[in-house]
């Protein structure tokens, strides 16, 4: 191996089993199988990126073919075979990338090549990386050779997606699942590398690297490489500098933001987020970290701080513990739902930063549990969840009016646990209308709303032009925008609700305007009349570019 390699992920790649970190049991098992001449026909290594799948495959190949034997496996002074295997140019050890050679013809060439014995070593070895990329026909072509290979032939497979490999292939291999590397072990490893490279980086910055790498050794070394390159030799790289380099921010900002949200302090919450955003944090990264903080607050009693967890320090842990005691679990669950929904919204919004600010404002106005218990309704939607401030002492509203308004809404609901209990108790006491009496078209629309048949209600209001409505018979004008299953669905529902058969027919006559059309027409006329008023003309004198788009009448 070239000792002058500048890329740390290659320079510090393990050469023997003892160099591996976090995979000691697997290393010991394979070492013993080779030492006692009980090696498998095929090995299958699976795990996330950067935990050592290809590295272990090469070490196994070296262990099988090393001229010094497995007990004296080459580490520094490499023998001819080990040197060639390390540089991927050994004639009997073929490394193949299944991502670029996926077809059955490639596997047939491989099988044809396997008929000839090794030329300069004990075993002929095929290492196939990302083996899950092979086609179904290619896997089938491998089966026979994989089950009964010649004594000199070994297969070593590596994959990140074990579920894509056929069970018939897995059953013919000795499978090893490589785990994520323990945070404490990974920290010690990169700290040792840092010392060898004479890096001037403090432990807090190294812990951040460990957290970001998520148990991947290669990711950790790549991040350390960036940190070493960006450092000033005279100045130590601290946590704040590392956060700027890797696009991460201090958790204390997020905890402060969370406090402001629960207090209802909109100004400080938005300012704190803008401070985080100014550090170059991606909105999706922010939301994922927000979800992480939510998880910690909700489950803080089950989390322990030890040497394997670098996500929180002692001070942050105590702050989150205090927040958890003072916050309703239902509020946290609502926050979680809104955050997940906002992650989906980011893909359809041009300015993601503005979307995050609106997301935070929505959270600021979520009702607390005390307010939930005051509201009795059969249909509570997302918009209503957001229109009441988080400070109960400042809120004034009329519950009866609230109920009337809510019942007229049919937007999809987000209901919390206390609301569901309320709804259950209400449903028992609610006085149902006489379903067998539908006297007119308006009764039918109201019934669809009560029964939560929103699709039928939409069609009745938008695309239905009524010609006549008599007992058990409805006649409407033909409309090509009407859903093709509307008549069938409405007939079945009316039969279920009233116990009678209803006849719904299309007429050539032009019926009444649809409810939506009438509403739009009334709005248009109201705007037209308003534009003739003196008040509107005075506004135009001051704001000549103004345009009247809606008029709302206030009740006396």
What is the pLDDT confidence band of residue 298, given thresholds at 50, 70 and 90?
A: confident
In whole angstroms, what is the distance from residue 394 CA to residue 17 CA? 67
In whole angstroms, what is the distance from residue 398 CA to residue 404 CA? 10
Q: Which residues, in sequence order, are bridge partners of residue 468?
A: 475
Q: Are 162 and 46 in contact (CB under 8 A)?
A: yes
What is the pLDDT confidence band of residue 546, given thresholds at 50, 70 and 90?
A: confident
> Each residue of 133-156: pLDDT tens digit?
998 888 998 898 898 888 999 999
Q: Are 201 and 237 in contact (CB under 8 A)?
A: yes
What is the pLDDT confidence band of residue 170, given thresholds at 50, 70 and 90?
A: very high
CATH number of 441-512: 3.30.300
Residue range 184-188: mean pLDDT, rounded: 89
Task: Check residue 1 and give its pLDDT.
Answer: 43
Cα-trace Rg, the chain? 34
Task: Check residue 305 and give its pLDDT.
Answer: 52
Name which CATH class applies to 8-177: alpha beta
Please report which residue ranges of 87-135 form alpha helices under DSSP H.
104-114
The candidate with the shortest Cα–Cα distance to 38, out of 207, 211, 154, is: 154
Is the pLDDT at 157 greater than 60? The verdict is yes
CATH topology of domain 251-364: Zinc Finger, Delta Prime; domain 3 (1.20.272)
Please report which residue ranges of 327-438 form alpha helices under DSSP H.
329-345, 352-364, 369-374, 382-385, 399-407, 417-429
Task: Check residue 83 and give its pLDDT.
Answer: 87
CATH of 183-246, one of 1.10.8, 3.40.50, 2.30.30, 1.10.3470: 1.10.8
Q: What residues does each domain of the chain span?
A: 8-177, 183-246, 251-364, 369-429, 441-512
Residues 4-20: b if buried by 16+ CB within 10 A, e if exposed: eeeebbebbbbbbbeeb
């Amino acid at each position: 191996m070239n000792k002058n390699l500048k890329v740390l992920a290659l320079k510090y790649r393990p050469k023997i089993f003892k160099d591996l970190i976090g995979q000691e049991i697997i290393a010991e098992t394979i070492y013993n199988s080779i030492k006692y001449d009980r090696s498998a026909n095929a090995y299958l290594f699976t795990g996330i990126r950067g935990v050592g799948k290809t590295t272990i495959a090469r070490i196994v190949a070296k262990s099988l073919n090393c001229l010094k034997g497995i007990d004296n496996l080459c580490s520094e002074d490499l023998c001819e075979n080990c040197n060639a295997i390390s540089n991927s140019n050994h004639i009997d050890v073929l490394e193949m990338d299944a991502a670029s050679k996926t077809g059955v013809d490639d596997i047939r060439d491989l099988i044809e090549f396997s008929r000839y014995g090794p030329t300069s070593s004990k075993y002929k070895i095929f290492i196939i990386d990302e083996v899950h990329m092979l086609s179904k026909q290619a896997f089938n072509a491998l089966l026979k050779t994989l089950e009964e290979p010649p004594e000199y032939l070994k297969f070593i497979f590596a994959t990140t997606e074990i579920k894509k490999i056929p069970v018939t292939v897995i059953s013919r291999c000795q499978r090893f699942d490589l785990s994520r590397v323990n945070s404490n072990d990974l920290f010690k490893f990169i700290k040792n590398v840092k010392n060898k490279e004479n890096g001037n980086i403090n432990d807090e910055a190294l812990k951040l690297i460990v957290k970001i790498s998520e148990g991947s050794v290669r990711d950790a070394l790549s991040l350390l490489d960036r940190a070493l390159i960006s450092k000033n030799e005279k100045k130590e790289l601290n946590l704040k500098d590392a956060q700027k380099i890797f696009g991460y921010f201090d958790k204390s900002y997020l905890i402060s933001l969370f406090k402001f949200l629960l207090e209802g302090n909109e100004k400080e919450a938005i300012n704190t987020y803008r401070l985080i955003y100014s550090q170059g944090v991606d909105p999706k990264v922010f939301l994922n970290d927000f979800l992480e903080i939510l998880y910690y607050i909700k489950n803080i009693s089950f989390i322990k701080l030890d040497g394997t967890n670098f996500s929180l320090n002692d001070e942050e842990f105590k702050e989150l513990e205090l927040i958890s005691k003072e916050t309703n679990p239902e509020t946290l669950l609502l926050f979680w739902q809104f955050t997940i929904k906002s992650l989906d919204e980011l893909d359809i919004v041009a300015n993601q930063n503005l979307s995050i600010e609106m997301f935070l404002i929505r959270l600021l106005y979520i009702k607390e549990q005390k307010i939930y218990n005051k509201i009795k309704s059969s249909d509570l939607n997302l918009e209503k969840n957001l229109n009441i401030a988080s400070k109960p002492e400042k809120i004034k509203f009329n519950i009866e009016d609230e109920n009337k308004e809510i019942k007229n809404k049919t937007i999809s609901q987000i209901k919390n646990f206390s609301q569901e209990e309320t709804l259950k108790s209400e449903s028992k006491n609610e006085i149902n209308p006489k379903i067998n009496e539908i006297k007119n078209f308006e009764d039918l629309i109201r019934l669809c709303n009560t029964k939560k048949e929103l699709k039928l209600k939409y069609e009745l209001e938008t695309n239905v032009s009524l010609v006549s409505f008599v007992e058990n018979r409805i006649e409407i004008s033909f409309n090509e925008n009407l859903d093709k299953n509307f008549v069938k669905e409405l007939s079945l529902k009316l039969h279920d609700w009233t116990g009678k058969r209803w006849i719904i027919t299309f007429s050539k006559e032009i019926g009444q305007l649809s409810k939506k059309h009438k509403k739009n027409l009334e709005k248009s006329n109201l705007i037209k009349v308003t534009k003739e008023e003196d008040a509107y003309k005075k506004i135009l004198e001051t704001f000549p570019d103004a345009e009247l788009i809606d008029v709302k009448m206030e009740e006396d």
